[in-house]
Amino acid sequence: MIVDCHTHIWESPEQLGVSAEAEGPGTIPPRSLLHERGEFPVAAPDRHLAAAGPVDMSIVMGFRSYYLRAHIPNDVVAKYVRQHPSRLVGFAGIDPTRKEEALAEMRRAKSDLGMRGLTIAPSAQNFHPMHSDALAVYAEACELGMPVIFHQGLRSTPASKMEYSRPSLLDDVAREFPELRIIVAHLGYPWVDEAIVLVGKHPNVFADISALLHRPWQAYNALLSTYHYGVTDKLLFGSDFPYTSASTCIEALYSINHLVHGTNLPTIPREKLRGIVERDTLRLLGIADVLPRGDRPSSRKLLDDED
């Protein structure tokens, strides 16, 4: 089974928020102009499903940031997931800087909306991952059995706080909450080495490879490092739709060694690359019960044809 653990939908670019430096709450970021010209990625649900390609299950994320005035409503995500329960899993976007609201939304997302995990972004929400309000969120996530995707790594939004982006900041979180299942998005790029050490230290910390594969040389070096440090098995497949598609990412992953063909540089064993694509992600995250009985035929044939 192929699980894409990192995808987004939104109804308009305005839901992604405005820059904190913008003058007034109604100021629209330049990306809206890109959207009007057809240059901004369209993340409508129908596009999402069409782009899934060989993927069997996709995790779809909401998002909430008061700091950036961003809001992709959990209800929108949950409605889409309910339409395709055998293909989709919803992760709720919550903002730990509003602790009581976040805790209530987590419970509602689990009990009323059927969402199975959470997504937060310290750099885009302006909080240190070990802030006391965030600790309450992690404790509740453990109680609810909800894994957490952390959008660590560099964000392009000018207002985002780089000092809260580093994967190393999650070391204290993982030690304080060893039962919390954590996914470090984008392998923590550009702090890949920190993410590698982090996933190697903690049994319940994983990293996804979303947003890496469109930079082949950087992806090659990152994946080679995970192989040399013996943590490739902690990597999860993610596409980062709508910025790319799952099929494009899978093709890029299987082609990664082509970069060094004919050189003395090392390659990454194909079975390790295949392991990333076919990882038992839902079981690792403790949410395998979302799988329907007699789940969809695997896309293994497509992958076998590429061997």
User: What percent of the chain is predicted at pLDDT more than 70?
Assistant: 87
The predicted structure's pLDDT at residue 41: 81
The predicted structure's pLDDT at residue 307: 46
The predicted structure's pLDDT at residue 61: 98
Tokens of 252: 């890029």
Amino acid in position 266: P
Closest CA to 161 of 213, 203, 131, 123: 123
Closest CA to 117 of 141, 82, 95, 85: 141
- Domain-wise residue ranges, the chain: 3-19+26-306
Tokens of 292: 């329907």
Distances (CA, A) of 175 to 182, 200, 282: 12, 13, 22
The predicted structure's pLDDT at residue 155: 66
Please list the ranges in the chain whose pLDDT falls under 50.
20-30, 32-34, 296-307
CB 122 within 8 A of CB 92: no
Helix and strand numbers, DSSP H then E, in the chain: 13, 10
The predicted structure's pLDDT at residue 111: 98
The predicted structure's pLDDT at residue 157: 77
The predicted structure's pLDDT at residue 37: 52
3-class secondary-structure state, position 236: strand
State how far Cα 101 lies from the chain centre.
23
The predicted structure's pLDDT at residue 252: 98
3-class secondary-structure state, position 208: strand
Tell me how crowded residue 212 is: count the other CB atoms within 10 A of its CB. Answer: 25
Kindly report, residue by residue over 133-190, the tens digit of the pLDDT.
Answer: 999 999 999 999 999 999 988 766 788 999 999 999 999 999 999 999 999 999 999 9
Classify residue 214 by its DSSP letter.
T
User: Spelled out in words, what is the top-level CATH class assigned to the domain 3-19+26-306?
Assistant: alpha beta
